[in-house]
C-alpha cells in the first residue's frame, strides 16, 4: 500500500469534524434519555442502538472494501468491548442529568486512568511530569464534581465511571491494535458490543418512537463517522499535532447543549474543563516527547489520542 502523504491541515480538519460527531452522539443520547423525542429511554437501550447501527454501517463498509481479515483475538476483544460498553453506557447516563460540557470534560480523565493502569499491567514507568499532569486533571474533575453539600453533582460520578471504563478499554486496545487492522477491530468490537448491549437492554427495552429510532441510528452513524475521520487524521499527521484539536469536543458539546436545551456552562464548568484539558494536554505533550526520543517495545502512554502514525487505533 502506498504511504499516505502528510497533510497537517487536513488532519486538523478531520479531527475537528470527528469531535463534532462525538459531541453529537452525546447530544442525541441526552435527547433520548430526557424524553425530548418521546418517553425517556434507558441508557442501556441507547448503548444498544449505538452498537447495532454502528455494526450495520461497518458491515456495509466491509462489503464494499473487502479488507483482508486475520484470526481475531477473541478474549481481548470481549474484554475491550465490556469496558467500552460500560464507558458508553455511563457516559450516556451522565449526559441525561448534567451539562454535556461537564460530562465530556470528566470523560477526558480516561488517559489518566489508563496511565495509572499501565504501571502494573504494561510495566510502564511514570515520571514526575506525567504524575503532575494526572494530578492536574484529577483536580479539574474535583472542580466539576462540585464537592460541597449544596452544589455536589451526584450524576457527575456517572461520567467519572465512564472515564474509568474507557481508560481500562485503552489498555486492552494498546495490546490489540498491534495485531489486527482497524476495520477488523471496529467490526469485531461492534459485533460483540451488539450482543452484550442487547442482552442488557432486554431488561429495560421499550419500543422507541420514530424520532427515537432515527436518533439511535444517528448515534451509531456519528460514532462510526468519528472513528473513520480520526483514523484518517492520524494517518496524515503526528498524534502530537492532532491531539489538541480533539478537545474541541468540549466546545461542540457546549454549543449543542445551548442550542437544544439552552444550557449555559457556568464559571465552575469552564474552570474544571480548562484544568482537565490542561492535564490531559500535558500528558499528550509528554508522550510526544518520549515518542520522538526513543522507540519502545512497550505500549505507549494510553491517552485520548493514538500513537504516532498508527492508523490501527480505534475507539
Average pLDDT value for the chain: 84
Q: Please state, as a whole number, how many other Cβ atoms lie within 10 Å of the Cβ of residue 181.
A: 16
- Dig out the grid coordinates for 220 from the structure: 451509531
Would you say residue 2 has pLDDT above 90? no
pLDDT grade for 142, boundaries at 50, 70 and 90: confident
Sequence-ordered list of residues with C-beta below 8 angstroms from that of 249, at least 6 positions apart, any chain? 19, 20, 22, 23, 104
State residue 53 phi and psi, 5-degree precision: -75, -30
Instruction: Report whether pLDDT(152) > 50.
Output: yes
CA atoms within 13 A on the CB side of 20: 7
Domain range list for the chain: 8-293
Neighbouring residues of 168: CB distance < 8 A, sequence distance ≥ 6? 83, 113, 114, 117
Task: Identify whether the C-beta of residue 120 lies closer than 8 Å to the C-beta of residue 292.
Answer: no
Burial label for 62, CB within 10 Å (0-12, 13-18, 19+), is: middle
Confidence bin at 292 (pLDDT 50/70/90):
low
Q: Give me the pLDDT at residue 238, please.
A: 72
CA distances from 234 to 109, 155, 307, 313 (A): 21, 33, 9, 9
Q: What is the pLDDT of residue 240?
A: 62
Helical pair 100-107 and 267-293, crossing angle rounded to 10 deg: 30
Tell me if residue 314 falls in helix, strand or coil. Answer: coil
Q: What's 43-106 look like in SS3?
A: HHHHHHHHHHHHHHHHHHHHHHHCCCCCCCCHHHHHHHHHHHHHHHHHHHHHHCCCCHHHHHHH
Taking residues 267-283, report their average pLDDT. 88
The gap between the terminal CA atoms of the chain, to the nearest Å, is 23
The string of pLDDT tens digits covering residues 79-125 is 999 999 999 999 999 999 999 999 999 988 887 888 888 888 877 77
Q: Is the pLDDT of residue 313 over 60?
A: no
User: What is the Cα–Cα distance from 184 to 181, expressed in whole angstroms?
Assistant: 5
Q: Judge whether residue 70 has pLDDT over 60.
A: yes
Among candidate residues 146, 63, 64, 144, the one with its CA nearest the CA of residue 106: 144
Amino acid at each position: 500500500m502506498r504511504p499516505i502523504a502528510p497533510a497537517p491541515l487536513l488532519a486538523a480538519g478531520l479531527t475537528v469534524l470527528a469531535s463534532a460527531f462525538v459531541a453529537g452522539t452525546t447530544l442525541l443520547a441526552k435527547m433520548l434519555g430526557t424524553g425530548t423525542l418521546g418517553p425517556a429511554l434507558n441508557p442501556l437501550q441507547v448503548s444498544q442502538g449505538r452498537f447495532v447501527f454502528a455494526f450495520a454501517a461497518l458491515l456495509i463498509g466491509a462489503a464494499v472494501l473487502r479488507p483482508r481479515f486475520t484470526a481475531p483475538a477473541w478474549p481481548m476483544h470481549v474484554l475491550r468491548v465490556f469496558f467500552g460498553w460500560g464507558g458508553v453506557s455511563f457516559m450516556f447516563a451522565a449526559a441525561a442529568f448534567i451539562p454535556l460540557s461537564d460530562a465530556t470534560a470528566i470523560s477526558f480523565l480516561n488517559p489518566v486512568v489508563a496511565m495509572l493502569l499501565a504501571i502494573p499491567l504494561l510495566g510502564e514507568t511514570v515520571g514526575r511530569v506525567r504524575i503532575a499532569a494526572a494530578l492536574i486533571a484529577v483536580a479539574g474533575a474535583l472542580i466539576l464534581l462540585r464537592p460541597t453539600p449544596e452544589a455536589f453533582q451526584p450524576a457527575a460520578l456517572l461520567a467519572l465511571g465512564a472515564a474509568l471504563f474507557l481508560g481500562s478499554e485503552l489498555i486492552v486496545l494498546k495490546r490489540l491494535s498491534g495485531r489486527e487492522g482497524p476495520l477488523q477491530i471496529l467490526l469485531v468490537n461492534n459485533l460483540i458490543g451488539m450482543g452484550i448491549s442487547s442482552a442488557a437492554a432486554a431488561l429495560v427495552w421499550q419500543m422507541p418512537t420514530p424520532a427515537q429510532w432515527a436518533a439511535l441510528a444517528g448515534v451509531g452513524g456519528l460514532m462510526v463517522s468519528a472513528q473513520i475521520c480520526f483514523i484518517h487524521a492520524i494517518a496524515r499527521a503526528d498524534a502530537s499535532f492532532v491531539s489538541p484539536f480533539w478537545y474541541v469536543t468540549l466546545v461542540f458539546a457546549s454549543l449543542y447543549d445551548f442550542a437544544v436545551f439552552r444550557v449555559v456552562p457556568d464559571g465552575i464548568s469552564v474552570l474544571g474543563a480548562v484544568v482537565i484539558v490542561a492535564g490531559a494536554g500535558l500528558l499528550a505533550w509528554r508522550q510526544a516527547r518520549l515518542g520522538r526520543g526513543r522507540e519502545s517495545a512497550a505500549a505507549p502512554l494510553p491517552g485520548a489520542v493514538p500513537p504516532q502514525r498508527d492508523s490501527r487505533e480505534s475507539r
